[in-house]
Chain A
Amino acid sequence: MSQLTFEEINTTVLKTLDKPTPGYWRIVALLFTGVLVLFGCWGYQIVNGLGVAGMNTPVHWGTYLINFVFWVGIAHSGTLISAILFLFRAGWRNPIARAAETMTVFAVMIAGIYPMIHLGRLWVVFYMLPLPNQRFLWPNFQSPLIFDIVAISTYFTVSSLFWFTGLIPDFAIVRDRSEGMRKKIFGFLAMGWTGKSGQWLNYSRGYLLFAALAAPLVISVHSVVSWDFALGVTPGWHTTIFAPYFVAGAIHSGLAMVITLMIPLRKLFGYEKIITIEVLESVAKTIIFTGLIVGFAYGTELFIAWYSGSSIEQESFWWRAFGTYAPQYWIMVVCNTVIPLAFLFKKVRTHIVALFVISIFVNIGMWMERFVIIIGSVAHDYLPNAWGFFAPTLFEFAIMFGAFCLFFFLFLLFAKHLPSVSMTEMKEHVHHRSHS
Chain B
Amino acid sequence: MSAETTSIMGLFESEEEALAAINEIKELGWEVQEVHSPIPSEKISAVLKRKKSKIGWFTLTGGITGFITGFSVAIFAATRWNLIVGGKPIISWFPFFVIAFELTILFAVFGNVVGLLTQVGLPTKQDDTYDPVCSGSFYGVLAGAKPEESEKLKDFLQNKGALASSFSQTT
A-side interface residues toward B, CB under 8 Å? 5-7, 10, 130, 136, 138-142, 144, 146-147, 150-151, 153-154, 157-158, 161-162, 165, 168-169, 172-173, 176-177, 187, 191-206, 209-210, 213, 216-217, 220, 224, 227, 424, 427-428, 431
Task: Please measure, in the bound complex, the distance between the C-alpha atom of A371 and the C-alpha atom of B110, giving whole angstroms.
Answer: 36
A–B Cβ pairs within 8 angstroms, 28 of them: A7-B136, A144-B95, A150-B99, A173-B136, A176-B132, A177-B132, A192-B124, A194-B130, A195-B36, A196-B34, A196-B36, A197-B36, A197-B37, A199-B120, A200-B37, A200-B39, A200-B40, A200-B41, A202-B53, A202-B115, A202-B119, A206-B112, A213-B108, A213-B112, A220-B102, A220-B105, A431-B15, A431-B39
Cβ-neighbour of B48 out of A136, A168, A197 (below 8 A):
A197
Q: Is the CB of B73 within 8 A of A130?
A: yes
Q: Is the CB of A201 within 8 A of B105?
A: no
On chain B, the residues within 8 Å of A203 by CB distance are 40, 116, 120
Task: Please measure, in the bound complex, the distance between the C-alpha atom of A277 and the C-alpha atom of B38, giving whole angstroms.
Answer: 26
Interface of B is mostly: helix
Q: Is the CB of B77 within 8 A of A197?
A: no
CB distance from A431 to the nearest CB of B (A): 6
Q: Is the CB of A205 within 8 A of B109?
A: no
On chain B, the residues within 8 Å of A199 by CB distance are 120-122
Cβ-neighbour of B124 out of A138, A176, A191 (below 8 A):
A191
Q: With an 8 A cutoff between CB atoms, is B98 at the interface?
A: yes
CB distance from A190 to the nearest CB of B (A): 8
Task: Please measure, in the bound complex, the distance between the C-alpha atom of A424 and the C-alpha atom of B135, giving whole angstroms.
Answer: 9
Q: Is the CB of A158 within 8 A of B106?
A: yes
Q: Is the CB of A198 within 8 A of B81?
A: no
Task: Please measure, in the bound complex, the distance between the C-alpha atom of A46 and the C-alpha atom of B10, giving whole angstroms.
Answer: 64
Cβ-neighbour of B77 out of A7, A140, A202 (below 8 A):
A140
Q: Is the CB of B102 within 8 A of A151?
A: yes
On chain A, the residues within 8 Å of B40 by CB distance are 200-201, 203-204, 428
For B66, give the chain A residue with the smallest CB separation. Answer: A154
Task: Please measure, in the bound complex, the distance between the C-alpha atom of A144 and the C-alpha atom of B77, giving whole angstroms.
Answer: 15
Q: Which of A6, A157, A209 has the most CB of B within 10 A?
A: A209
Chain B, residues 76-114, CB within 8 Å of chain A (1/0): the string is 111011000110100010011011011101101100110
Q: Is the CB of B137 within 8 A of A6?
A: yes
CB distance from A222 to the nearest CB of B (A): 13
On chain A, the residues within 8 Å of B88 by CB distance are 142
On chain A, the residues within 8 Å of B113 by CB distance are 161, 165
Q: Is the CB of A10 within 8 A of B108?
A: no
Tally of contacts, chain A with chain B, CB under 8 A:
177
Rank and list the top 3 A-B pairs by shortest CB-CB distance, nearest first. A6-B137, A176-B132, A138-B77
CB distance from B125 to the nearest CB of A (A): 6
Q: Is the CB of A142 within 8 A of B78?
A: yes
B-side interface residues toward A, CB under 8 Å? 15, 34-41, 44-45, 48, 50, 53-56, 59, 73-74, 76-78, 80-81, 85-86, 88, 92, 95-96, 98-99, 101-103, 105-106, 108-109, 112-113, 115-116, 119-127, 130, 132-137
CB distance from B99 to the nearest CB of A (A): 5
Q: Is the CB of A196 within 8 A of B59?
A: no
On chain B, the residues within 8 Å of A146 by CB distance are 99
CB distance from A86 to the nearest CB of B (A): 13
CB distance from B53 to the nearest CB of A (A): 4
Known contacts A176-B132, A196-B35: does B116 contact A202 (CB below 8 Å)? Answer: yes
Q: Is the CB of B132 within 8 A of A424?
A: no
Q: A6-B136, A146-B99, A220-B102 are in contact. List 6 more A-B contacts (CB 8 A).
A: A139-B77, A140-B77, A150-B102, A196-B34, A201-B53, A209-B59
Task: Please measure, in the bound complex, the distance between the C-alpha atom of A231 and the C-alpha atom of B55, giving whole angstroms.
Answer: 38
Q: Which of B34, B44, B48, B101 has the most CB of A within 10 A?
A: B101
Known contacts A191-B123, A200-B40, A209-B56: does B35 contact A142 (CB below 8 Å)? Answer: no
On chain A, the residues within 8 Å of B56 by CB distance are 205, 209
Q: Is the CB of A192 within 8 A of B126?
A: yes
On chain B, the residues within 8 Å of A204 by CB distance are 40, 53
Q: Is the CB of B55 within 8 A of A202?
A: yes
Task: Please measure, in the bound complex, the distance between the C-alpha atom of A349 and the C-alpha atom of B115, giving whole angstroms.
Answer: 42
Q: Is the CB of A192 within 8 A of B122?
A: yes
Task: Please measure, in the bound complex, the distance between the C-alpha atom of A305 and the C-alpha atom of B98, giving whole angstroms.
Answer: 28
CB distance from B88 to the nearest CB of A (A): 6
Cβ-neighbour of B135 out of A154, A173, A428 (below 8 A):
A173
On chain A, the residues within 8 Å of B95 by CB distance are 141-142, 144, 147
